[in-house]
Structure 1
Amino acid sequence: MNKPGKAANRAAKLEAFERARAESREHAREPSPYFFEKAEAKSGLGLIAASSRAPLVRSGMKPDLVPKSRLLARVLRHKPELWGVKLDREGWCTVEALMEGAAKVGQMLSLGELHEIVATNDKARFTLSPDGVRIRAAQGHSVPVVLNLRTVVPPPVLYHGTVRKNLPAIRREGLKPMSRHAVHLSATKEAAAAVGGRRGAPVVLIVDSYAMNRAGFEFQQAENDVWLTAAVPPQFLKLLAHMRRGRPATTRT
């Protein structure tokens, strides 16, 4: 016979899972290990911290949609005028206006393709509103927007991918947002290496986010699980070295 405590625990877990599953649907995501882990964290019954979860992994996008996804990111992050759309204060525009703007400039993009791009983009770069009427980029904007992300406690360590030619400036000045609103950080070395690899041979920096948080720096987590902070001073950075004799090593920047 089950004890009352076990039954209550099971009910709490099921309730937390249903909340997480509803959230996954709101963000056009299929329930995945990410949401199972989040449910455990929300229920207070699991050992997984919501702030240190692994980033969401998407299935591969069809090759013919990749150029359209890149162009969509450019429009929603940097150049909405390319398709004649206007972003509101939080970066949203209506799907209808987006589709009409794309058609006016001769960009062939169907509603089905748009939904597939949102669902399969490897970095979950785009977010649909729960009713499917609006869309925005999850982060990475250079145009003025206010994403209204909550300030949260980061995991003890985060990572940033870059290329070697940027290291001298980073040693002097740390990480700065440059043209974007915030510095982007990754939860895993692999994700950071993928980011740095877009510009050449990647190098990965280790960010002491625990020490930064204790020093008063604030962190936000975007809808696609990218971590954001205003800047990272050089004293909180280390360089993740290449494998040496089969063993990973780290060196100060």
Structure 2
Amino acid sequence: MSHRHKVIALSKLMAYVLLHRPDEFGLVLNEDGFVSLKELQQAIAEEAGWSHVRLSHITEAAYTSDRERFEVKDDRIRHSLPREIRYEPTSPPRILYHGTRHRTYPHILERGLDPMGRQYVHLTTAPDLAMRIGRRRDPNPVLLEIQAQRAFENGIIFYEANPLIYLADHIPQSYIIGPPISKVLPEKKLPEKRRLEKREEMPLERELPGSVLLNLRMEPLHREAKEKTWKDHSRRNRRRQRQV
């Protein structure tokens, strides 16, 4: 396949994603139909046969399309056909899913889920799709289970972006179920040298009344005799001469 045919094939795939089924690729368009160029590139590169696609390929297909299919604005892209997207509040499924980065997991357990640079928190109906989206930020994301229906009954507003993805402004931590923090962020083992140093830094035990503790770090009570120097021998000889 020539380079030109590859660009045309990529352009058709981009049109399908942006115009028809962004949810199949884990994407959410904003109310103007735009999505991040980087997110589009990541979503397409995840597909079989498209792992070679880079950001430069996306922009080339967008700018060289004969039908002027796309509109690029700053770091975002949308299909050129006019669309008005409105996300209306809706009742969500009982359970939704979210894939997050390891380093943000402790924050989520304390304060809940926030958009983190996006307009909404993205939640999916399927765990595998949540993990696919999460891998765009972490190669091994943490899968969270969201008790969406219970949250909705307690006043949390959800929006249906498409059949596979729901949105929310914020999810409190009380509706989030995830693995134990010890499994996600296990404590790092200290090297043997560092463990010995920490052991040496431990304070001495306090002596109790009526007990005697041996302090092995103290200087010995009896020092070894020093070797006699030439001065010592000279003094001894002078003492002997006086006695004679």
Q: Normalising by structure 2, report the TM-score.
A: 0.45
Greater gyration radius: 2
TM-score by length of 1: 0.44
